[in-house]
Amino acid sequence: MDNKEAKLIKVFQTVFPDMDPEKISAASQESVPGWDSVAAITLMNVIEEEFETQLDFDKAADLTSFQEILGYLREVQPNVAQL
């Protein structure tokens, strides 16, 4: 697990505190009952704060799973050291 993945897991734990930590890496809007439009905005805001970045608004609508978000973050911030 790299630093980005660990940070993103913490973000998901913050936004979805009742989610089983073992299921976070497989989380998606379809699998998480509380992941509605308000939660999506909250999630994006917490990601921007935690990763000190601005998400591309046009791409944000497509970021509907943990894995998609992680891939996007790795693409836009490729030079973070591995743990």
pLDDT tens digits, 6-40: 999 999 999 999 999 999 999 999 999 999 999 99
Helix axis angle for 37-51 and 3-15, nearest 10°, is: 140
Topology of domain 3-17+24-76, CATH: 1.10.1200
Q: How confident is the model at residue 79 (pLDDT cuts 50, 70, 90)?
A: low
Contact 3, 80 (CB under 8 A): yes
Nearest to 67 by CA among 41, 28, 37, 33: 28
Full-model pTM: 0.88
Nearest to 8 by CA among 47, 42, 49, 38: 47
Report the amino acid identity of residue 40.
A
